[in-house]
Chains A and B, each alone.
Chain A
Amino acid sequence: MERVLNHSIQKWLDATLAFDTIRHQNHDAVLASMESLEFPHSKMEDWKYTRTQKLNQGQWVLQRSEVISDPEFQAVSSVQTQMRSGFFGCLNQVAPTEAFSLDIAPNESFDEPFHFVIKSNEDWAWTQPSFELTLGEHACAKVVLHFIGKHNGFCNALLDVTMMEGSHLDLDIIQDNDDSFFQILDIRVDEASKSHCNVLTHTLNGGWTRNNLWMSLNGEHAHAALSGFYLPQDGQLVDNHTVVDHRVPNCTSNELYKGVLYDKSKGVFNGKVFVRKDAQKTEAYQSNKNIMMSDDATMDSKPELEIYADDVRCSHGSTTGQFDEEALFYLRARGLSALGAKQLLVSAYVNEVINRSNNAEVVTFVKQELSARGRIIADEV
C-alpha cells in the first residue's frame, strides 16, 4: 500500500526496509501513525533546544547491536511495546534490530541485578534495540541497562516497563558513548498501585544524547523516583525530557536531575509533572540543578507543572549557577590544586544523584569510571 509520508522522514523509513525479522504487533498501525509526523526540528516544542541536523545528515546503516546479557533476558520476535507518538519512538517500532524481554514472576525477589550490555562498534552503525520489562505482583528486581557506543554510531533504543501491584524495580541506565555517538533512549514506565520504581540515568559520556522518560502512575500509592546526572564537555549535548503523569490519588514522585556543563557543551532539561483531575493527595517534587563551568556552555531548563487537582503538594525548582568561590578558596587554602578543588566539589555535587541508586555495584562502578576519567574524585574505600 502506498503511503503519503512527509519527505523528511521518507529516507529514514526506506533505510529500515531491509530489516523485517522482528515485527511490532501493531506494525501497520505504527506506520499509519507516522503519516502525520515529520523529522524533529527546533520549531517543535519538544525539540526547541536540541539540534537534529547532524543526526539527519548521517549515512546510517541499520544493523544489529552486540549484546551481552544475563540469560533471563529472552530474545523475542514479536514486540508489544506501547505505541509512541514521537518520530524516533515510532521509527524504533517500525524496525527493531533486536528485541528482548524480561519477566519477573509474581512474588519473585532478586537481590542480584540483571545486566544487559548493548554495544555498537562500527562507524555509521545504526541500531534500534527494544526492551520489555514486566514485574508481576510483588516482584522485586534490579536491572542495569548499559549502553556502549563506539565511533560515530546512532542508537535509537526503546524500553517499556510494566509494573504490577506492589512490585519494586531499581533501574540503572548507564550511557557511556563516544564523543561522536548519537543516542536516543525512550522509556515508558507504567506503575500499578503500591508499586515503586526508581530510575537513574547515568550519562557518563556521549556526543549527543536524548533521553525521554515517561512515568505513568496508574494505581494508588505508587511511587516514582527519577534521577539523572550529566557532565557534558567539549561540544556534547545531553537532553533529558521527563514526564510524570499522576493519574490517580495518593501517589508520590520525586525527581532530581543535576548537571555540570563544561566547555562548549549544551544541557537541556524538560520535566513535566501532570496531576490529573482526580489525583488528589498527590505529592510531586521536581528539581533540576546545574553548574556552569564555562562561558561557552549553555543550559536550557524547563520544569513544568500542570495541575488539575486541588488537594496536592507540588513543587519544582531549577537553579543554574557556579561553584561558590569561598568553597573553592577554602579547599585551595587546604592545599588542593585548582583542578582538585573543583573535582572535589563536582564529586560531592554529583554523588547526591549517584547515591540515589539502590544498586551498590553500579554506584561503585560509576564512581570509579568517573574518577578514572578525572571527572570526580572517588570516595575513599
Chain B
Amino acid sequence: MEILDEITGKDYEFGFTTNIESEKIPAGLNEEIIRVISAKKNEPSWLLDWRLEAFKIWQGMNEPEWAHVHYTKPDFQAISYYSAPKSKPKYNSLDEIDPEMRKTMDRLGISMDEQKRLNGIAVDFVMDSVSVATSFKEKLAELGIIFCSISEAVQEHGDLVRKYLGTVVPRTDNFYAALNSAVFTDGSFCYIPKGVRCPMELSTYFRINEAGTGQFERTLLIADEESYVSYLEGCTAPQRDENQLHAAVVELVAMEKAEIKYSTVQNWYPGDKDGNGGVFNFVTKRGLCDGYKSKISWTQVETGSAVTWKYPSCILKGDYSVGEFYSVAVTNHFQQADTGTKMIHIGRNTHSTIISKGISAGHSNNSYRGLVQINSSAKNARNFSQCDSLLMTDTSGAHTFPYIEVNNSSAQVEHEATTSKIGEDQIFYCLQRGLDEEQAISMIVNGYAKEVLNKLPMEFAVEAQKLLAISLEGSVG
C-alpha cells in the first residue's frame, strides 16, 4: 500500500513551475501583436508578410467541430502570444544558463550537462515562446547538419526556411495551422545534407511555463537525398487550473531515399482528477515523402493533454515511398483524445502501415480517426491498418473512425480494429504469480503497447514505459 500511495501522489510529476522572470506581451491577437512578435524576433520582412497573410486566412476560418471531443473553446484574445525568459536570450555556452533554468532542465531529465553528453543526444530546449539552448551544435555542424531554433534559422539560413516553410502544411490547411503560422514564436529547425546519416538522436523539449500563455511552436525538418535522422520530441507543462493552448505545426520533408524517424512522447499536463485544467493540444504534423524510396515514420506515445487533436500524416508522393504511424494513446480521468493519421498515397508502389493502440481509463474518451487515401496514380499501393482499443473502466469510451478511400484497382488496403477490456484471466494469472494489481495492469498494458514502444529509440522507450504506468495509476475499473 505504501508504494501505491507513493505513486498515486506523483500523478503528474512535471507539474512544477519555474520562477524565472519572463517577458510577456499583453494578451490579445491582432495585426499589431503579430508585428510586435516579428519585431522582437528581428525577422525579415518576407516572414512578417507571411504571418500577416496567415492571420487574414485565420480570421476567415471557423474552429473545427468535427472531432469527437467536447471542450470550451479557447478565447483567442485572452492568450498572450509571446512569453520569453527575461534573462539573456542567447547563451554562448551551456554553463551560462540561468541556474533556475538549469534546475528545470535537470528536473525534466534533459541531457544538458557533461555527463549526459555521453548519451549522445542533441537537445533543443524551448520554454514558452523561445528556444533557450541547443546542444551539440558544433559537432553536428562538422557534418553539415543544421540543428537550431527556428528563429535562429530564419536569421542564418533564411533561404532554406523560406523555401520549405508552409510547403507541407500550408497556411490554409486548417484553423490551428493558420493560427500557428500567424503567431509561431519558436521551434526547431533541422537540415540533414545529402548522404549524411545523423550520428545522434536529435531532440526538442517543449515546456509551457507562464500562466495565460499558449505555446505555438513550429518545427521544420528537411532530410536531403539519402540522409537519415531520428528526431525526438518531448513536452510538459506546469499544473494549472486554466486550459492552456498548444497549437504546433511540424513539417517534415524527405527527399530521395531519405529517412526520417520522428518520435514524440507527449506529456502535457492532462488536468486533475476532476477534469479541471490541462493543456489543449491541437497539433498539425505532416511529412512529405517527396523522393523515390523516401520514408517517414511517426511514433507517438500520447499520455498527456486534456484534449488532444492530432493527426501526424504522410504524403507519399515519391514512388516506392513508405509511411509509418505507430501510436499509443492513453487517456485517464476526463481526458479526451481524437488522434490518428492520414496516409495519402500518390506515388506508385507506396506502402503505409498504421498501428494504433488506444487505452481508455477513468471517464476518458479515446478516438482513433484515420484516413487512407489511395489516389488513382498510386498503382500497387499497399496499406495495413490496425487499431486496437483497451477499455479499463465502464465509464470510459473507445471509438474508431477510419476513412478508407480507394481509387484504383491495384491497391490493397486492409483495416482492422478490435475493442475489448483488459482480461480478468490475465490479471488473475499475474496476481497468482505474486504481482499486485497495479503491477499486473502495468505489465499487461506494456505488453499490449509493445509493438509501438519497440519502435521508440531506447532512451525514450524506458521513459514511455514508466509514463504508461503512471498515467494509468489507480485506473483499475
A interface residues with partner B (beta carbon < 8 Å): 45, 49, 277, 280, 290, 292-322
Contacts and interface: CB of A to CB of B under 8 A. Distances in A.
Given A293-B409, A300-B405, A310 B416 contact: no
Instruction: Identify whether the interface residues of B are mostly helix, strand, loop, or mixed.
Output: strand
B402 interface: yes
B397 A307 contact: yes
Contact of B411 (A305, A318, A321): A321
B397 A302 contact: no
A191 to B, nearest CB: 22
Contact of B410 (A295, A300, A315): A295
Contact of A307 (B391, B405, B410): B391
Nearest to A49: B405
Interface string B438-477: 0000000000000000000000000000000000000001
Q: Which 7 A-B pairs have the closest CB atoms?
A: A310-B391, A292-B409, A321-B412, A301-B404, A317-B416, A305-B400, A320-B413
Given A292-B406, A322-B410, A309 B415 contact: no
Contacts of A294: 409
B418 interface: yes
B400 A316 contact: yes
B428 interface: no
Nearest to A298: B407
Given A295-B408, A310-B421, A319 B394 contact: no
Given A292-B409, A302-B403, A320-B412, A313 B398 contact: no
B376 A296 contact: yes
A302 B376 contact: no
Nearest to B397: A308
Nearest to A270: B403
Contacts of B283: none
Contacts of A311: 394, 421
Nearest to A284: B419
Contacts of A277: 394-395
Given A290-B406, A319-B413, A314 B419 contact: yes
Interface residues of B, number: 36
B414 interface: yes
Contact of A318 (B389, B415, B477): B415
Contact of B399 (A295, A298, A307, A318): A307
Given A293-B409, A317-B417, 15 more contacts: A292-B411, A299-B404, A300-B405, A302-B404, A304-B402, A305-B419, A307-B391, A307-B419, A309-B391, A311-B421, A316-B417, A318-B414, A319-B412, A319-B415, A320-B411
B391 to A, nearest CB: 4
Contacts of B404: 299-302, 318, 320
Contact of A306 (B394, B395, B396, B399): B399
B260 interface: no
B367 to A, nearest CB: 8
A314 B398 CA distance: 11
B394 A321 contact: no
A306 B397 contact: yes
Contacts of B418: 313-315
A313 B417 CA distance: 11
Contact of A315 (B392, B393, B396, B416): B416
Nearest to A316: B417
A310 B477 contact: yes
Given A312-B419, A313-B420, A302 B406 contact: no
B409 A297 contact: yes
Nearest to B389: A307
B91 interface: no
B425 to A, nearest CB: 13
Contacts of B414: 317-319, 321
B194 to A, nearest CB: 36
B416 A316 contact: yes
A269 B406 CA distance: 12
A310 B396 contact: yes
Nearest to B400: A305
Nearest to A267: B406
